[in-house]
Structure 1
Amino acid sequence: MAQGGLKVVLRLGSPAGLSRRTRRILIAAGVLALFAVVLFETYHVSFQRGKARLSDEASATAQGRAMTLSSELAKQRAVALILADDRDVIEGLSAPTPVRTDLMSRKFEDLRAQTGSSVIYAVDTTGLALAASNWRDEDSFIGSNYGFRFYFTGAMTTGEAWEYALGNVSLRPGLYLSRRVEANGQPVGAIIVKVEFVEIEASWRGADVDTVAVDPGGRVTLTSTPDWRFLPEPDFGPDRLVVSRPVGGSDWRLDMAVPLAPVRQEALGMTLIAALLALPLGLIAALWRQRLHRQHLRRAAEARYRNDLEQEVAARTRDLSEEIGERKAAERRLAAMQARLVQANKLAALGQITAGVAHEVNQPLATIRLLAENGEAMMPDPKAAPEVRENLGLIVQMTDRIARITSELRGFSRKARGEREPVPLIEAWEASLLLSASRRAEDRVPIRAPRIPPGLLVIGEKVRLEQVMVNLIQNAHEALAGTAQPEIRVTLSHGRRETDGAQVVTLTIADNGPGLSAEVAQNLFTPFLTTKREGTGLGLVISQGIMRDFGGRLWADPPAPGQGARFHLELLVAV
C-alpha cells in the first residue's frame, strides 16, 4: 500500500517465551501501525490527486486567459497596422491642416468605439500629438508631446514598438502599441493605440485566485490585484499552486496562483473518513472496495473533464481560424481599396491634362478670332458678300463660346483654396450647366430650372461648389439612359435649419429615371461603391465632404416606386 518504497510487514506468531499479554500488545501495535499507514496513504493520495485535479483546472483557466489576452493584443496590433497605411492618416501627418487633423480625430473616435481601444492618437516626427480619439475630452492628448516615450522612439527607429506604462495625461496604466507612418518612403509620424485591459483584469478578480502578467524582467503589468502593478512578481508561497502560460504574440508570461487550502481540507476530510471506516478491522475490506470505486468515479470525472476541455480547445481553435480568415478578408479588401485609390489618382491626372489642354487652346483660339475680325474689316464694301460676313460673325461667336468653356474648365480644375466665402449661386449654377452642356446635348436631355436671383449669395467656394453641382447633374444625366422622355428638374427653396435656426437655401436636382435601388440607397455615400462600369465610387463621397466643409448638407430621398432619384443640396445663405 505504501508509496516510495515504504513496506509494512506484520508477522504474527506465537514464539516461545512470549506471554499472551505480550502477543496481544504486539498485535495491537501492528494493527495501529497498519492503521497509521492507511491514514497516511489516504491523506497523501487524496492530496496528490486533488492537487493534480486543481492543476488541470488551473492550467485550463490560465490557458484560456492567456489566449484571450493574446487575441486582444493581436486585434489592437491590427488596428495600428491598418491605420499606419490609411490615406487620411498619411496625408494628415505629411501635411497637417485643421481639416485633416479633425478628420483623423473623428476617424479615431469611431474606430476606438468599434475595437474597444482606450485611446488612438497620431503624432508627428517630434512626438507631438496632432489627432486623438479623445479630442472631445478636457484631458485630450492633442497638443501633448510624447517624444520621450519608448513606444515613440522605438517605432521611429524600428517601425513598431510597444510599452506598458502609466499615462502622463490620463494617469492610467495601459499598453501602448505604436506603428511608424511613412509617406514616399520617409517617416512622417506614428500611430499609437493604447489598451487598458480594464475588463480583462476585472474578469480575473475573485475566488481567492491571483492572476498576473509579467514582462521578461519579472515586472507585473496586468494583475487582479492593482497594488502589485509595476512591482516585481510576488512570492505566492508554498500554500499556493502557480500555473504559468506564455501570452502568444508577446514576450509576456501569465501566472495564476490558486490556493491549496481546499485541497488540503479535502484530503483531511478523506483521511477522517478513512479513520472512521478503518477503526473496525473487519471493515477494512469494505473500505478498500469503496476507495477503488471512488477512484473509478474520479477517473471517469477526469475523463469527462478532459473531454470537455478538448472540446473547448477545439472550439477556440475554430474561432481563431475564423478570426484569421476575417483578417485575410480584411487584407483583400485593403488591396482592393488601394487599387481604387490608384484609379482615383489616374482621374486626378486626367483632370490636370484637361486643364492643360484648355490652357493651350486659348492662343490658337485668339488667333482664329483675330483673323475672322480682320477678314471682316478688310472687306471694302460693307454690303458686299453678306454670307461671308455672316460666316465670319459666326466664327467670332463660336470662338467666344469656346473661350467661355475653356475658362470654366480651367477654373473647375484649379485646386480649391479651402476657404469659405460668399459665392453668387447663379454664377456657380451657370458654370455647372456650361461644363455639363456638351454631354447633355448629345442625348438632348432638357433641364427645367427656376430663375436664381442674381443677388443670392451662399457660403462656400466657387470651384468646389461647381464640382458638386456638375457631379449631381452628370449623375442625373447618366441615370436617364434608356428613358423615353428624359428630363432633369431643379427646384429652389428657402428656409431655416431646425438644428440651429440658420438661414439656408436648398437646391433639389431630380430626374425621371428608374430611381435608386434599396441596396444602392443604403450605401450611397460609401467610398468606392459604384454601379457604373467606369465609376470610382468617390464622387458622392467627395461631394458630401465638400458640403460638410461649407456647413451645409447633401442627401438623397429614400427610394420610392415610380419616382426617380432626388438629391438635395443645402447651403448656408450669406447674410
Structure 2
Amino acid sequence: MDAPSANRSSADLSRSTRRQWLAFAALLLVLSFGALHAAGVYGRATALSVLEQQGRTEANLKVALLRAVLERPRALPFLLSRDRDVSDALTDTAAGKREFLDRKLEELVTGTSAAVIYVIDPRGVAVSASNWREPTSFVGNDYSFRAYFSRAMKDGTAEHFALGSVSKRPGLYISHRIGPATAPLGVVVVKMEFDQLERDWHETQRPSYVVDANHVVLISSIPSWRFMTTEPLPADGLAAIRESLQFGEAPLAPLPFERQADDNLIRALLPGGGTQSYLRITVPVISTPWQFEYLVPTGEAVAAAMREARLFALLLLGAITLLAAFWLQRRQRALANAAREQAAREELERRVVERTRDLSLARDRLETEIADHRETETKLQFVQQDLVQANRLAILGQVAAGVAHEINQPLATIRAYADNAKVFLGRSKPEPVLENLDHIAGLTDRIATITEDLKALARKGRTAEEPVAVREVIDGAILLLRSRFTGRLERLVIAPLPAGLQVFGNRLRLEQVLINLFQNALEAVEPRADGRVDVTVEVHEGAVLIAVTDNGPGLSDTILAQLFEPFNTSKEKGLGLGLVIAKDIVSDYGGQLEVKTDAGGASFRIHLRKVGK
C-alpha cells in the first residue's frame, strides 16, 4: 500500500473511531436516563409494597385490639336487662328502688370499661344512671329521639355511635330492651368511650381512624379529624344525620386529603401545618359496619428506596459502560491486528463460559432452596393438623371429666343403695328392696339434671321452679355425701331450721348446689383437727339466706377473682365446674350465690326467694 492510501486509510480509521465513540457516548446518555427512571419506578413500587405489607400487619393488630375493646361491654346490657333490680326500678317508682339501682350502676361502671350505664323508661326518659351524682347526670333527660332507644324498643338490641347530648363526648351506645316486645319496660344503655384507645393509637405517630357506613370518622388518633368524612356526603344523607343530632353540630366536612393517581396514595394536611404523603390501608371491623383506616407515611421510605435503586442502577450501568468501552477499544485494535482480535474473542468466550457456569450453579442452588421450602410447608401443614386434632381431644376430655366430676356423688350413692338391696333380697325382705330401687330411680333423674346443667355452660337451660322444703334439700345433700365423707360428717353442723320453710326452685338442682358447697367446705377443713362447717338458715322479708361457713384457710385473691369461671380451680384434681354450675342453678331461680373470705375461713351465701309471706 502506497503512502497516500495508507494516510487515507489511517484518516478513515480515525474518523470511524471518533464516530463510534460519539455514538457510544450518546447511547450511554440515553441508557443512563432510562436506567435511572426505571430504577426509580422499581424502587418506589418495591417500597410501597413493603410498606403495605407492614402497614396491613399493624392495621390488623389495631383492629384486633379494637374488637377486644368492643366485645368487653357488649354482654353487660343483656345481663342488666334481666336484672331484677332494673325491672323493679321501672315498675316501682319508689325513690328507694331507683336510688339503689343508681348505686348499683355506679359500682358496675367502676368495675368495667363502660363510661356510663343508664336505664330509660318506655317514654324515653332516663330514670336511673351511674352518673347520678354528677352535675351532668343523665337522670331525667329525654332520649326518645336517639336511634339506640327506638331500635332497641323495636328490635330488642341496638348499637349506635353518637355525640352525647349532655356530656358532649362521643361514644358507642349499646342498648338492650327490658321485658318482652309486647310489653317493654324500657331500655338499658351502656355507653363506651374510646379515649384510651385513641391515646394508644396516637403514640404510634401514624394516623389511625374508624369510619362508619356513611364514611364519617368516629374514632381517631387525631382529635381534629373526628366527625369529618372520607367521602363527600349527599345532601339528603347530610340533612338526615344533622337532624338526628348523632354528631351534634359537627360540620361533617371532608378530611384534608388530596388523592393521587393511586386511590391508596393520598396527601394529608396535618393539624400542625404542612402536608405529607401516606399509603392508606383499610381493614373491615368484623361484627360492625365500621371500617378501620391506617395511614402509613411514604415520603422517607420511598425516597430511600428510590435512591438505593438508582445507586444500584448507576453502579450496574458503570460496570456495563466499562465493559462496553473495553470491548470497543479491543474491537478497534483488532482492525489493525487480527491476532489480538482472535485473542480477545477467546478471552470473551472464556468469560461467557464462566458466567454460564455460575448461572447454572445459581440455578441449581435456587431449585434446591425451592424444594426445601416446599418440604417445610408440607411439614407445617401436618403440624397444624396435629394441633387441631389435639385441641379437639383436649376439649372432649374436659367435657368428659366435667361429667364424671358432677355425677360421682350420685353414682356412689346408687352403688350403696344397690348393695343394700342385694342384702335385703338375701334376707327375703322385698319392701326395703323396692324402696332402694325407688331411690336409685330418683338418683338417675338427678344425673340427667346434672348433665343438663353441664350443657348449660354453653346453652342456658332452666327447670321449672316449684316450692321446695329447705329441710328436704339439706337432708338430701347430706345423704349423698355419706359415702364420700364416712366418719367425717360430724364436722358438718346444721343449725335449727324454721318449721315448714320453703323456697322456689327444684329439689334435685338445689341439692346439687349444697352437695358442691358442703363437699368444698369439708375438704377445706380436712387438714385441721378442729375443722368445722356451720350451716345456718336465716329468713328475711321475702327471701331465705343459706350460709355454708368453714374455718379453713380461706381463698386467695387470685382464686377469688376467677372463682366462678369455667375450668379454674385450686385443687390438683379439680375441674373448676362445680361452682360455675351452682351459680347458674341459683341464678335460674332468681337467687344469688356470693362468697366472703378472710384468714379465718370462707362463707358461701345462697340467696333464694321464699315461698309465702
When normalised by structure 1's length, the TM-score is 0.51
Q: Which residue of 2 aligns with 1:118?
A: 115
Deviation at 1:81, TM superposition (A): 1.9
Deviation at 1:556, TM superposition (A): 9.3
Deviation at 1:536, TM superposition (A): 5.9
Deviation at 1:21, TM superposition (A): 2.1
1:273 is aligned to 2:322:
no
Q: Which residue of 1 aligns with 2:287?
A: 249
- 1:45-90 Cα offsets, whole Å, 9 max, x none, are 1111110010111111122222222232233222222222223323
When the two chains are superposed, the root-mean-square deviation of aligned CA atoms in Å is 5.4
Structure 1 unaligned regions, length at least 5: 1-14, 352-432, 440-478, 480-485, 489-510, 545-553, 568-575
- 1:500-520 Cα offsets, whole Å, 9 max, x none, are xxxxxxxxxxx9x99544559
1:258 is aligned to 2:296:
yes
Deviation at 1:558, TM superposition (A): 6.0
Q: Which residue of 2 aligns with 1:135?
A: 132
Deviation at 1:125, TM superposition (A): 0.6
- CA distance in 1 between counterparts of 2:553 and 2:227 reads 55
- CA distance in 1 between counterparts of 2:127 and 2:144 reads 13
Q: Which residue of 2 aligns with 1:559?
A: 600
What secondary structure sits across from 2:185 in the alignment? Answer: strand
1:165 is aligned to 2:162:
yes
The correspondence of residues 10-159 of structure 1 with structure 2, limited to 5 A, is 19-159=16-156
Deviation at 1:17, TM superposition (A): 11
The correspondence of residues 341-352 of structure 1 with structure 2, limited to 5 A, is 343=465, 346=467
Judged with a 3 Å threshold, the aligned counterparts in structure 2 of structure 1 residues 557 and 229 are, in CA distance, closer, same or farther, namely closer
- CA distance in 2 between counterparts of 1:264 and 1:70 reads 32
- CA distance in 1 between counterparts of 2:200 and 2:107 reads 26
Judged with a 3 Å threshold, the aligned counterparts in structure 2 of structure 1 residues 90 and 537 are, in CA distance, closer, same or farther, namely closer
The amino acid across from 2:19 in the alignment is: T
What secondary structure sits across from 2:184 in the alignment? Answer: strand
Q: Which residue of 2 aligns with 1:466?
A: none
Q: Which residue of 2 aligns with 1:231?
A: 228
- CA distance in 2 between counterparts of 1:162 and 1:43 reads 48
The answer to whether the Cα contact below 8 Å between 2:121 and 2:186 also exists between their aligned partners in 1 is yes
What secondary structure sits across from 1:66 in the alignment? Answer: helix
- 1:467-510 Cα offsets, whole Å, 9 max, x none, are xxxxxxxxxxxx9xxxxxx9x9xxxxxxxxxxxxxxxxxxxxxx
- CA distance in 1 between counterparts of 2:454 and 2:217 reads 34
- 1:376-396 Cα offsets, whole Å, 9 max, x none, are xxxxxxxxxxxxxxxxxxxxx
Deviates more, 1:49-58 or 1:230-239: 230-239
The amino acid across from 1:237 in the alignment is: R
Deviation at 1:119, TM superposition (A): 0.9
The answer to whether the Cα contact below 8 Å between 2:154 and 2:181 also exists between their aligned partners in 1 is no
The answer to whether the Cα contact below 8 Å between 1:277 and 1:284 also exists between their aligned partners in 2 is no
- CA distance in 2 between counterparts of 1:154 and 1:116 reads 24
Deviation at 1:124, TM superposition (A): 0.8
What secondary structure sits across from 1:212 in the alignment? Answer: strand
Deviation at 1:139, TM superposition (A): 2.0
The answer to whether the Cα contact below 8 Å between 1:278 and 1:284 also exists between their aligned partners in 2 is no
Judged with a 3 Å threshold, the aligned counterparts in structure 2 of structure 1 residues 169 and 537 are, in CA distance, closer, same or farther, namely closer
Using the aligned pairs only, state the percent identity.
Answer: 26
The answer to whether the Cα contact below 8 Å between 1:80 and 1:178 also exists between their aligned partners in 2 is yes
Deviation at 1:40, TM superposition (A): 2.0
- CA distance in 1 between counterparts of 2:169 and 2:227 reads 12
The amino acid across from 2:79 in the alignment is: I
Judged with a 3 Å threshold, the aligned counterparts in structure 2 of structure 1 residues 82 and 435 are, in CA distance, closer, same or farther, namely closer
- 1:205-255 Cα offsets, whole Å, 9 max, x none, are 255522221111111111122122222122353332111111111111111
Judged with a 3 Å threshold, the aligned counterparts in structure 2 of structure 1 residues 515 and 141 are, in CA distance, closer, same or farther, namely same
What secondary structure sits across from 2:179 in the alignment? Answer: strand
Judged with a 3 Å threshold, the aligned counterparts in structure 2 of structure 1 residues 92 and 74 are, in CA distance, closer, same or farther, namely same
Structure 2 unaligned regions, length at least 5: 1-11, 231-254, 261-276, 324-354, 396-452, 471-494, 502-520, 522-531, 535-546, 565-577, 606-613
The amino acid across from 1:257 in the alignment is: L
1:222 is aligned to 2:254:
no
- 1:318-377 Cα offsets, whole Å, 9 max, x none, are 9xx99xx9xxx99946977x849x64x745xx89xxxxxxxxxxxxxxxxxxxxxxxxxx
The amino acid across from 2:298 in the alignment is: L
Judged with a 3 Å threshold, the aligned counterparts in structure 2 of structure 1 residues 104 and 518 are, in CA distance, closer, same or farther, namely farther
- CA distance in 1 between counterparts of 2:593 and 2:205 reads 59
What secondary structure sits across from 2:214 in the alignment? Answer: coil
What secondary structure sits across from 1:186 in the alignment? Answer: coil
- CA distance in 2 between counterparts of 1:121 and 1:129 reads 7
Equivalent residue for 2:210, pick from 213, 216, 221: 213
Deviation at 1:112, TM superposition (A): 2.4
The answer to whether the Cα contact below 8 Å between 1:208 and 1:258 also exists between their aligned partners in 2 is no
Number of residue equivalences: 361
Q: Which residue of 2 aligns with 1:572?
A: none
Judged with a 3 Å threshold, the aligned counterparts in structure 2 of structure 1 residues 557 and 26 are, in CA distance, closer, same or farther, namely closer
Q: Which residue of 1 aligns with 2:509?
A: none
The answer to whether the Cα contact below 8 Å between 1:236 and 1:257 also exists between their aligned partners in 2 is no
Deviation at 1:258, TM superposition (A): 1.7
- CA distance in 2 between counterparts of 1:330 and 1:168 reads 45
- CA distance in 1 between counterparts of 2:554 and 2:143 reads 45
The answer to whether the Cα contact below 8 Å between 1:529 and 1:537 also exists between their aligned partners in 2 is no
- CA distance in 1 between counterparts of 2:182 and 2:500 reads 43
The answer to whether the Cα contact below 8 Å between 1:216 and 1:252 also exists between their aligned partners in 2 is yes
Q: Which residue of 1 aligns with 2:483?
A: none
What secondary structure sits across from 2:286 in the alignment? Answer: coil
What secondary structure sits across from 1:187 in the alignment? Answer: coil
The amino acid across from 1:173 in the alignment is: P
The amino acid across from 2:305 in the alignment is: A
- CA distance in 2 between counterparts of 1:141 and 1:516 reads 46
The amino acid across from 2:39 in the alignment is: T
- 1:506-537 Cα offsets, whole Å, 9 max, x none, are xxxxx9x99544559998xx9997999xx969
